[in-house]
């Protein structure tokens, strides 16, 4: 297909240059197919969003238990979980990046300060922003609600720590 297009372009230009550097070689085309295959196998939004959902829920219980490093860790990897979407959804990922940088910042600030009152206020408020993005992107039927217990019960949420304890 690519080769055909290439020949057509050259014909239109009135140039028939055999082996021209403008033509994509079969090997390059093959490589592109493999890259496309890898990209197609990478997660888009749905798979990492499940991780976002779980880490978001866990972070609350970490903060409540005074394990601020765990809360900070959850917030950090909640963001990183979305990295595959930089490649698979390059137009949509900036919406997530802006959300994390702007709307989510007050939650991160409260974690850094180890301030439970501020954390509770900002955490509750940001749930609306999560759901606003779902609505904007056509997923208004996915409504995040706070759980009564962590998504992952196999961690000690009550261990005392500071946000700064998370390795860089
Ligand atoms: C940039 C927009 C955006 C933001 C911000 C966002 N989401 Fe999502 N979320 C989506 C989209 C889009 C889907 C649907 C995924 C798909 O079909 O590709 C989704 C799906 C989900 C799901 C369902 C995943 C599943 O398949 O089981 C959960 C849970 C979720 N989001 C949690 C959250 C939480 C918690 C926040 C806030 C901390 C949040 N989301 C913020 C766009 C967003």
Measured from the CB, is residue 130 less than 6 Å from ligand 1?
A: yes
* 3-class secondary-structure state, position 134: helix
Q: Which helix (H) or strand (E) holds 142?
A: none
**Nearest-atom index, ligand 1, CA of 95:** 1
Counting ligand 1 atoms within 8 A of each CB, the residue from 78, 142, 143, 145 with the most, and so the one to mutate, is 142
pLDDT for 23 equals 67
Q: How many whole angstroms from its chain centre is CA 35?
A: 21
Listing DSSP states for 22-82 in one string gives TSPPHHHHHHHHHHHHHHHHS--SHHHHHHHHHHHHHHHHHHHTTBHHHHHHHHHHHHHTT
Per-residue pLDDT of the chain (168 residues; tens, 9 = 90+): 444 554 455 555 555 555 556 667 999 999 999 999 999 999 999 999 999 999 999 999 999 999 999 999 999 999 999 999 999 999 999 999 999 999 999 999 999 999 999 999 999 999 999 999 999 999 999 999 999 999 999 999 999 999 999 998
pLDDT for 125 equals 98
Measured from the CB, is residue 121 less than 6 Å from ligand 1?
A: no
**Six-digit token string for 134:** 């779902």
pTM greater than 0.75: yes
> Is the CB of residue 119 less than 8 Å from the CB of residue 107?
yes
Measured from the CB, is residue 56 less than 6 Å from ligand 1?
A: yes
Measured from the CB, is residue 8 less than 6 Å from ligand 1?
A: no
pLDDT for 1 equals 45
pLDDT for 7 equals 47
Report CA(89)–ligand 1 centroid distance (Å). 13
CA atoms within 13 A on the CB side of 102: 8
Measured from the CB, is residue 137 less than 6 Å from ligand 1?
A: yes
């Amino acid at each position: 297909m690519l080769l055909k297009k290439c020949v057509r372009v050259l014909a239109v230009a009135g140039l028939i240059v055999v082996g021209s550097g403008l033509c994509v070689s079969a090997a390059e085309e093959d490589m592109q197919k493999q890259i496309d295959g890898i990209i197609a196998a990478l997660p888009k939004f749905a798979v990492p969003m499940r991780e976002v959902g779980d880490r978001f829920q866990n972070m609350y219980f970490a903060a409540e238990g005074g394990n601020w490093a765990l809360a900070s860790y959850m917030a950090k990897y909640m963001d990183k979980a979305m990295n595959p979407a930089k490649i698979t959804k390059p137009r949509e990922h900036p919406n997530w990046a802006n959300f994390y940088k702007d709307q989510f910042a007050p939650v991160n600030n409260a974690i850094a300060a180890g301030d439970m009152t501020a954390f509770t206020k900002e955490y509750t408020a940001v749930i609306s922003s999560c759901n606003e993005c779902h609505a904007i992107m056509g997923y208004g039927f996915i409504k995040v609600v706070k759980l009564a217990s962590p998504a992952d019960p196999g961690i000690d949420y009550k261990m005392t720590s500071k946000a700064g304890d998370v390795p860089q």
